[in-house]
Every structure is written in C-alpha cells, then in structure tokens.
C-alpha cells in the first residue's frame, strides 16, 4: 500500500460555536478540537484509505494524550510522534464571519512541535522519510523550524528522493509565521526547487510576490507537477506533457466555514495520484472534497459526511529520482 509522511504541527483548536456569542459582548461559546494544516490533510488521507503517518512533537500532557488518541481513532499513524517532557502543544482559535471566512489567532511560540528538527530523535526520524512514497509538508511546517532545522529537513528529503520518494509542497503562506518576507521567499525557492509536486494558490503567492500575473507566479515554480488554485474555484495545472484548467462544480449548499479547504484539497489530490489518477482527475477530486468540507464548521467534517469511496487505477511503480 502506498504511504505518506505528513510533517507539521497538531494544535488545540478552539472554534466559535454557532449562535454562541452573546449580544453586545465580545465573548461567546467555543468548542475544543484538534487541527493544523498538515494534520488536517493527514486525517483526510486516512479517511481516503491512504496509509499515513504524522511526524511531529507533542508534550507529555493530557491534551497531547488526547491528540494521540484522536489520531489513532482516525487511522493516522503516530509511531513517528516524539513526546517531550514538560512541553505543551500549540493552540489556535477560529472565528468566522457571516460568509464563512475565517480568522485565526495562535498561541504557539513554545509549542513542542517547534523543536522537532533539533532533538536526539531527529536523525532517526529524518532517515525514515525514505521509506515513504510521498513526503508532504507545508510552508507553515517550514516556518516553525529555525534555518538549520529547515536545512536538515531539506537534506533528508533530497536523500529520500534518490530512492523514489516524492516530495509534495503546499505553500499555505501565513505572514505571521515568518520574520520577514525575504526569508519566506528564500525558503519557498528552496522548496520549489526540491518538490516533485507543488500545491499553491494566488492567495499564497501574491502575498509574497505582489502584482505578478498568474503566468509569472507559475514560472517561479520549476516543479514538474503544479496545481495553482485561483481566487475563484478553478485550478490551473501544469504537468509533464500538458497543461489544463479544472473548474469546481457549482456549490449546492451554503458555505459555513472555509477552514481546511486547501488541506482537504491536498489530501484528495494526493490520494487520487497515489491511486493512479492523472493530475486532472486528481484536481477534480480535490475540488469535490474541498467543496464538501467548507459546508461544515471546523477543520474536520463528520465521518458520515465524507464522499463515497471511488475506485482508481493501480498506482504507478515507485521510481528513484535520477
């Protein structure tokens, strides 16, 4: 079975309850869950019957215990999760407006996950990457490590690619995670140069390269396979042998919460590619799942709301990068 390593951070999620805010007051009721961009992708990959491990660091507290239990229940592998004594996971809060657009507030500066590239267990963890078919991470993942940590991670990914592992990079840019945009641009360029598949959007790239056209933005990315999501529900694809435009089907339900739209798109795209679908079919699958996810509150929709399983062609044999 094809396998994926998702690298990132699992955080405590506080989500504003619908109708929970008191009139004239800034407070309200919040429900607690768990989330994080690559964590969300890992959960959706598991639900799509892809073997997936989550690589992160957590504390030795009760909340971290609950996270491990929740991931295990979802079918996400936790054997690569490092537990750190005395540390805690990060926390974020979601507020949404009447149109379902979200705003995030984070408390994560001392979170355990930030130390993942600087631990006694780090070398063993990084060496394990070559055992996976795909390594998936986002720019948010890269933003929580220091420069030497990012260098160690990129070096390990390059070694894994020599044995046939593919690297999928999701841009998912959040300015607050970076000291400045010049550092972010340098890291993005390194990721673009290493990646086999890049999943990106105008929202992410225009924040780094303002004023550039879609053509100019896409030209910055040398990866052989590129999915470029526009502001409207359309993706521009570039892959060996061609290009294509994939448009999402019209929404039949109202948008409730856009949290994890890109994360779920990534999961469906990766799952479809591993199952033998071509990039166009994979992008269609990504749009279908994302369009469903944004009809529910929070990052992870109820299990019963997942789309029916679809059979795919057998995946291509893994080949080493030359």
Secondary structure of residue 204 in the 3-state scheme: helix
| 250 vs 246: CA distance, rounded Å | 13
Q: How far apart are CA 190 and CA 207, in angstroms?
A: 18
Distance CA 172, CA 214 (A): 17
**What is the per-residue pLDDT for 14?**
85
- Tell me what the mean pLDDT of segment 94-118 comes to: 81
CB half-sphere exposure, 243, CA atoms < 13 A: 6
| Residues known to be catalytic | 263
CB 116 within 8 A of CB 55: yes
Residues linked to residue 167 through DSSP beta bridges, in sequence order = 135
pLDDT for residue 21: 47
CATH class of 3-21+29-305: alpha beta
Q: For 145-164, what is each residue's pLDDT tens digit?
A: 999 999 999 999 999 999 99
Question: pLDDT value at position 25?
Answer: 43
Question: Among candidates 188, 132, 185, which has minimal Cα distance to 163?
Answer: 132
pLDDT tens, residue by residue, 217-270: 999 999 999 999 999 999 999 999 899 999 999 888 898 888 899 999 999 999
């Amino acid at each position: 079975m094809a396998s994926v390593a998702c690298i990132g951070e699992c955080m405590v999620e506080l989500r504003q309850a619908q109708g929970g805010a008191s009139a004239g007051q800034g407070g309200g009721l919040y429900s607690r869950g768990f989330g994080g961009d690559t964590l969300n992708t890992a959960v959706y990959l598991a639900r799509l019957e892809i073997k997936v491990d989550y690589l992160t660091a957590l504390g030795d507290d009760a909340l971290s215990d609950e996270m491990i239990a929740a991931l295990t229940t979802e079918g996400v592998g936790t054997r690569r999760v490092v537990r750190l004594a005395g540390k805690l996971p990060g926390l974020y809060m979601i507020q949404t407006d009447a149109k379902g657009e979200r705003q995030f507030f984070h408390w994560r500066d001392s979170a355990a996950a930030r130390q993942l590239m600087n631990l006694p267990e780090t070398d063993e963890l990084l060496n394990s990457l070559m055992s996976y078919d795909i390594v998936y991470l986002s720019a948010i993942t890269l933003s929580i490590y220091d420069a030497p940590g990012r260098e160690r991670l990129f070096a390990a990914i390059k070694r894994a690619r020599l044995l046939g592992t593919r690297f999928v990079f999701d841009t998912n840019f959040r300015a607050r995670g970076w000291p400045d945009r010049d550092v972010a641009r340098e890291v993005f360029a390194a990721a673009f140069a290493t990646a086999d598949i890049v999943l990106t959007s105008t929202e992410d790239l225009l924040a780094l390269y303002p004023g550039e056209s879609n053509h100019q933005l896409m030209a910055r990315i040398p990866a052989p396979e590129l999915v470029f999501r526009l502001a409207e529900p359309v993706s521009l694809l570039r892959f060996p042998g061609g290009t294509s435009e994939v448009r999402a089907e019209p929404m039949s339900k109202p948008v409730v919460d856009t949290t994890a739209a890109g994360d779920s798109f990534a999961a469906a795209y990766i799952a479809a590619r591993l199952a033998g679908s071509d990039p166009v079919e994979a992008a269609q699958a990504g749009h279908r799942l994302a369009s469903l996810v944004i009809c529910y509150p929070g990052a992870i929709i109820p299990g019963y709301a997942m789309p029916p399983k679809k059979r795919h062609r057998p995946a291509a044999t893994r080949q080493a990068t030359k």
